[in-house]
Amino acid sequence: MLENAYKKPYIAVDTHVHRILNLWGFIHTKRAEETDKIVEKLLNDKEKIGLNRVLVSFGQIICKPLRPECEICPVKELVECNG
């Protein structure tokens, strides 16, 4: 990962990052590769730092693909979840 190994501001877009950003309506893409290109342009370097780690953890614990725990979601008031 570029961010960890080389301290480069880069978001590794995996399934969690792709899914959550689409669920929240920040982007509208079909594939992680598309998400990667859009996120790279939308966010500045400071905003990219640590975002992958946060969204992956969030996707594993709260916003799970099969059984999301929307009732305990700390951002449900801030975003319109399309899930």
Structural domains of the chain ordered from first start? 2-72 (1.10.1670.10)
> Looking at residue 11, what is its pLDDT?
85
d(CA 33, CA 57): 20
> Looking at residue 79, what is its pLDDT?
85
Split the chain (83 residues) into runs of 10 and give each run's mean pLDDT.
62 92 93 94 90 93 92 88 68
> Looking at residue 9, what is its pLDDT?
73
Note the Cα 1 to chain centre separation in Å: 16
> Looking at residue 5, what is its pLDDT?
57
Distances (CA, A) of 44 to 23, 48, 59, 72, 82: 21, 7, 23, 30, 25
